[in-house]
Amino acid sequence: MNLGNAPAGPTPPKLHLDHVQLQQMWGAMLRIRRFEARCVELYQAQQIRGFLHLCDGQEAVAVGVAAALEPRDAVVATYREHGQALARGVPMKALMAEMLGRREGCCRGRGGSMHVFDAATRFVGGNAIVGGGLPLAAGLAFADQRLGRGAVTACLFGEGATGEGVFHETLNLSALWRLPVLFVCENNLYSMGMPWAQADAQQEVWRKAEALGVPAEPVDGMDPVAVQAAAVRAVTRIRAGAGPRLLECRTYRFRAHSMFDAQAYRTRQEVEHWREHDPVERLRRWLLDNHQADAATLARIEAEVEAEIDAAVAFAQAGTLEPVGELERFVLAEVPAGNAGPAPAGTDGAEPRRAEAMAGTGRASPGRVDAIPGVATPAAAPAWPLQVPA
């Protein structure tokens, strides 16, 4: 749907997946499921500390969205981000080491389960604040847009974040500036222990986005092929400059909100009903029924997944803890040896030299925003403060 001044963009090609790609998709979801199952065991053995939020049941969203992205793109996640990190390409060994708080982890053990970050894959971390990743994603997209990278930022969040003011503010700004952002709402029907039906008068998140000028659509979040197809459609248009898009992936988490959650807000019957739509088992049955894989092939993939997890656990358990003496390290940015850092602006003519260096490149000098793409700049700004007529 084309809203406001947002162009529709090019028509994306129809998604075609062969049997090898479908098997890989199933393996990617199984990899996430089994990784988190092992994390539960390690948590119960007190080798993983703090909070642990699992995406068991939501694997199709992470795998489907990741399949539509390129290495130059960025991903902003929530604190339920293990699956998103694995699907994005964060090495399992580094992720497991992070879970166990080891220096060999992708954040040197300082992030843990809720704050995974990996610069190499542009996985810009889990965020423990509800809706906190939304403005971060807009900022990343704005930077990519200004630098002409052609990159897309995928921002994943839960339906509870759509009740935050920052959701509306970020989508509004993204629509105005046509930022290259793919907003992905993982609607699992519960904001922690609050049923979505009791939390918001507008049950369809995609309609909220359209009201803010962001084209959107609902997607079966238990079907990785449907998610990938929708994500490819959206990313193709975003990358062509058509502005942001939103997908409402309707999914469900089989496990508790966190390891401390008694789940008194839902019944066992409800969970079992949703397990009938388990994305991992659903695709496995489809592969077998449609002769896209045989039992031996799936058993081989399963064995490979288990071997990778065993290796990751062994790597993490053999890792090291940071010494207490480094507790305050990384609070402030570290200056590389031999580099005293930039001098204050105006003290050595650095700002004029920087502007001169940027001349002729077609890019604004760093630190300045001369014009925002897609937004007309008035010939003369009105005087401020504005005078109110008597």
Q: Residue 273 carries which DSSP code? A: H
Contacts of 264 (CB under 8 A, 6+ apart): 193
Strands (E), the chain: 74-76, 153-158, 181-187, 190-191, 194-195, 216-220, 245-250
Residue 341: per-residue pLDDT: 54
Contacts of 388 (CB under 8 A, 6+ apart): none
Residue type, 65: V
Residue 84: per-residue pLDDT: 94
Q: Residue 187 pairs with which residues in a beta bridge? A: 250
Tens place of pLDDT per residue across the chain (390 aa): 334 455 666 777 788 899 999 999 999 999 999 999 999 999 999 999 988 888 888 999 999 999 999 999 999 999 899 999 999 999 999 999 999 999 999 999 999 989 999 999 999 988 888 999 999 999 999 999 999 999 999 999 999 999 999 999 999 999 999 999 999 999 988 887 787 787 787 888 999 999 999 999 999 999 999 999 999 999 999 999 999 999 999 998 888 777 777 777 788 888 888 889 999 999 999 999 999 999 999 999 999 999 999 999 999 999 999 889 888 888 898 887 766 555 544 444 444 433 443 344 344 434 444 454 554 444 444 444 444 444
Residue carrying the six token digits 């077609």:
362
**147, 72 in Cβ contact below 8 A?**
no
CATH number 3.60.10.10 given to 19-252+268-316: no
- Of 244, 223, 227, 226, whose CA–CA distance to 235 is shortest? 244
- Of 203, 223, 212, 150, whose CA–CA distance to 183 is shortest? 212
- Of 230, 145, 149, whose CA–CA distance to 184 is shortest? 230
Q: Residue 226 carries which DSSP code? A: H
Question: In terms of DSSP bridges, do strands 216-220 and 194-195 run parallel, antiparallel, or are they unpaired?
Answer: unpaired
Could you give the CA distance from residue 168 to residue 322 in angstroms, rounded to a whole number?
A: 41
Question: How big is the CA angle at 171 (ends 56 and 153), to the nearest 5 degrees?
Answer: 60
Could you give the CA distance from residue 248 to residue 250 in angstroms, rounded to a whole number?
A: 6
Region label for 347, one of left (φ > 0), alpha (ψ between -120 and 50) or beta (otherwise): alpha
How far apart, in Å, are the Cα atoms of 43 and each of 100, 314, 338? 9, 15, 43
